[in-house]
Amino acid sequence: MAVSSAGIPQHWRTIKERYRLLGAHCERCGSNYFPPRNVCPRCRRRGKMAQVEFSGKGKVYSYTVVNASSKAFEQYMPYVVALVELDEGPRVLSQIVDCKPEEVKIGMEVEACFRKIFEQEDGGIISYGFKFRPSDGSWACRETGQRSS
């Protein structure tokens, strides 16, 4: 049975950037862009764009709590959508997960994780990609290599 193929070409074209936070870097002026751009708006024809994989680390620039969503995202309500400013500069729009809406603060450090973004109805495709969760580097300070006995 055929399902609607609406959205499939766009989903497929943006897989790499959504899965790996792949953006563009202008080697002339050093600017970073997400989503990736073919031409640097600052340098125009003198710019030289290259693909770059961002670290996934950033801060919440601003956010909102969604209490009335479109049907596709109703299951997640209430959920947080934030503008995340990446360490490399670009601001990306993303859901903040693994925390309650009241725990989100402007300036909060976040890191990219891999989640389901959207599922087509009637057995259609699943769109995966990055979302952000609160950063937690607490594990790095742990003493490992010790026997429990």
The answer to the question of residue 136 lying near another protein (CB under 8 A) is yes
- Applying CB under 8 A, among 20, 37, 57, 91 the residue interacting with another protein is 20
Torsion of CA 91, 73, 68, 94, to 10 degrees: -10
Query: For another protein, which is the closer residue by CB, 8 or 43?
Result: 8
Cβ at position 38, least distance to another protein in Å? 21
The answer to the question of residue 27 lying near another protein (CB under 8 A) is no
Among the listed ranges 11-19, 34-42, 60-68, 81-89, the one in contact with another protein (CB under 8 A) is 11-19
- Applying CB under 8 A, among 53, 55, 64, 78 the residue interacting with another protein is 53
Q: In 3D, which of 147, 143, 113, 146 has the Cα closest to residue 130? A: 113
Interface contacts to another protein, rule CB under 8 A: 15-16, 19-20, 53, 75-76, 95, 97-98, 113-117, 126, 128, 131, 136, 138-140, 142, 144-149
